[in-house]
Chains A and B, each alone.
Chain A
Amino acid sequence: MDWELMWDSLPRLLGALPLTLTLVFASLLFGAGVAFATALLRLSGNRVAETLTAGYVFVFRGTPLLVQIFLIYYGLGQFESVRDSVLWPMLREPMWCAILALTLNTGAYTSEILRGAILSVPVGQVEAARACGMSRVLAFRRIVLPMAIRQMLPAYGNEMILMVKASSLASTITMLEITGVSRKIISQTYAVFEIFILAGAIYLLLNFLAARLIKHTEWRLTPYLRTRA
């Protein structure tokens, strides 16, 4: 083990942290929006909307993220119509391609988590809300959604952790996030073990924080489960 090399490489690796965090936060944020819309459409009762969204979830859950990233980055760029379109200034950048792929991927998974959580809200709760005179929308907003979100937290925490790790695949499309920088340092020093251990430790720390955050939110949202002091 070359401790000195590890110590010297640490600033370079940490320098890549903002990019990793940007990828993770942007895709989780956009992904949450996609997931919300998808889950609602899948439960909408509209046959066309249900089929379309089910198809989206099926495709993005059923194919590897790496393949999705390659298709979006290298695949779309081959079509002249895409290169001439208004979207090209964004799709030209590896950053947006990575965020797009990660967003669509996490959106598909999260929509399923959310859909399951919504379905798990007891019918009696909705009936009670309706009996109190709430409209369907109001009942959904005040009763169903808060309970569903509380319900989905553990599974969503898993998804967040998976996204932190999945962001490493952006390195395959020239992004110099933590894994990309690691590979670059390794290509100069050939110290695979030292550098990847360091990179692994940074991901571990990130996920430790993510897990704590989820745990804390869970605790905050379930006061009725705590024993009263």
Chain B
Amino acid sequence: MKKIVAALALGALMAVAGGSADAKDWKKIRIATEGAYAPWNATDPSGKLIGFEIDLAQDLCKRMGAECEVVAQDWDGIIPALQQGKYDAIMAAMSITAERKKVIEFSNAYGTEPSMFGIPKTSPLAAAKFGAERVDLTKDTPENKAAVAKLGDVLKGKTVGVQTSTIQANFMEKLLPSVAVRTYDKLDNAGIDMAAGRVDAIFGDRSAVSAVLEADAAKGMALFGPAFSRGVLGDGVGVGLRKADKDLKDKFNKAIADATKDGTVTKLSTKHFGYDIAIK
């Protein structure tokens, strides 16, 4: 009897784990997003998912001739749940990085945005001057190096709030290991803690940081320092997919290329961000 129960339990586990192993025609695609990273993806007061990626997902699915369901999933479990087959794709402002590529597949990027710090306006940090306004981390110019070094200097003894398992958390760990970092499940919570004075700065995608700063506008926050991109910060935002689903990747790549070409991405981007994040 015990053996039967164990076998049943194991079978159930495997059914869950291998739910998507069989070939699919991709008429129905489940897409996960976080729903807490405005304007990429967010949740409105009624609990409905909204944002750039939700609109873009519907457009891409129309192009792929598929019916799509967008579901919300907490950020820190978003890759494991993809691997377990709880959904087929991730569209959650996820940057394409070497680390993530080891475990999942990415479509081509559909958007790109630099990372920026946010600080309270009254912070002594605000006075710091950087030689560069944009820092491309793949380029080893003296200005870029000086900007990163300067950042390390001014942040010495400060605490920076980031969201867990993000490119920005990785940036802090790799490039500024001596600066204290607190990791939050959501960037919103890092913003709350900055308003309370528990962290001195927050670090995230420019739009996400801006959204947090706007939410706390009354408290006087501002963007700070240069805009960082590429290198450890990845190469734009793409659709996260399982390694096995090469056919789905091809479909997404074609749809993204078409949507970029006919200006749909730009249109949706302007609607949600106020500027263009499309990859040209």
Residues on A facing B (Cβ under 8 Å): 74, 77-78, 83, 92, 94, 172, 174, 183-184, 186-188, 190, 192
Count of chain A to chain B residue pairs whose CB atoms are closer than 8 Å in the complex: 43
**Is the beta-carbon distance between B80 and A183 smaller than 8 angstroms?**
no
Given the interface contacts A83-B197, A186-B76, A192-B77, does A172 sit within 8 Å of B185 by beta carbon? yes
- With beta carbons under 8 angstroms apart, the residue of A74, A78, A184 that contacts B183 is A184
- With beta carbons under 8 angstroms apart, the residue of A83, A174, A186, A187 that contacts B196 is A83
B229 at the interface (CB under 8 A from A): no
Task: With A74-B192, A83-B197, A183-B164 given, name 15 new contacts (CB 8 A).
Answer: A74-B189, A74-B193, A74-B196, A77-B192, A78-B192, A78-B195, A83-B196, A92-B196, A92-B198, A172-B185, A174-B193, A186-B80, A190-B80, A190-B83, A192-B80
Per-residue interface assignment for chain B, residues 182 to 225, with 1 indicating a CB less than 8 Å from any chain A CB and 0 otherwise: 11110001001101111000000000000000000000000000
Query: Which residue in chain B gives the minimum CB-CB distance to A74?
Result: B192
Please name 14 pairs of A and B residues whose Cβ atoms are closer than 8 Å in the assembled complex, sorted by A. A74-B192, A77-B192, A77-B195, A77-B196, A78-B192, A78-B195, A83-B197, A92-B196, A92-B197, A92-B198, A94-B198, A172-B185, A188-B165, A190-B80
B103 at the interface (CB under 8 A from A): yes
Which 9 residue pairs across A and B have the least CB separation, nearest first? A187-B165, A77-B196, A192-B80, A174-B182, A190-B79, A190-B103, A187-B164, A74-B192, A190-B80
Report the separation of the CA atoms of residues A184 and B184 in the bound assembly, to the nearest whole angstrom: 10
Report the separation of the CA atoms of residues A94 and B164 in the bound assembly, to the nearest whole angstrom: 17
**Is the beta-carbon distance between B164 and A77 smaller than 8 angstroms?**
no
Residues on B facing A (Cβ under 8 Å): 76-77, 79-80, 83, 99, 103, 164-165, 169, 182-185, 189, 192-193, 195-198
Q: Which residues of A contact B169 (CB under 8 A)?
A: 187
Query: Which residue in chain B gives the minimum CB-CB distance to A189?
Result: B103
DSSP majority for the A interface?
helix
- With beta carbons under 8 angstroms apart, the residue of B76, B99, B103, B182 that contacts A183 is B76
Query: Which residue in chain A gives the minimum CB-CB distance to B188?
Result: A74
**Is the beta-carbon distance between B193 and A77 smaller than 8 angstroms?**
yes
Q: Which residues of A contact B189 (CB under 8 A)?
A: 74
Report the separation of the CA atoms of residues A39 and B103 in the bound assembly, to the nearest whole angstrom: 54
Query: Which residue in chain B gives the minimum CB-CB distance to A82?
Result: B196
Q: What's the minimum C-beta distance from A9 to chain B, rounded to whole angstroms?
A: 15
Q: Which residues of A contact B76 (CB under 8 A)?
A: 183, 186-187
Q: Which of B80, B197, B198 is packed against the most chain A CB atoms within 10 Å?
A: B198
Report the separation of the CA atoms of residues A184 and B165 in the bound assembly, to the nearest whole angstrom: 7
Q: Which residues of A contact B182 (CB under 8 A)?
A: 94, 174
Q: Which residues of B contact A83 (CB under 8 A)?
A: 196-197
Report the separation of the CA atoms of residues A186 and B165 in the bound assembly, to the nearest whole angstrom: 9
Q: Which residues of A contact B198 (CB under 8 A)?
A: 77, 92, 94
**Is the beta-carbon distance between A188 and B80 smaller than 8 angstroms?**
no
Report the separation of the CA atoms of residues A160 and B195 in the bound assembly, to the nearest whole angstrom: 35
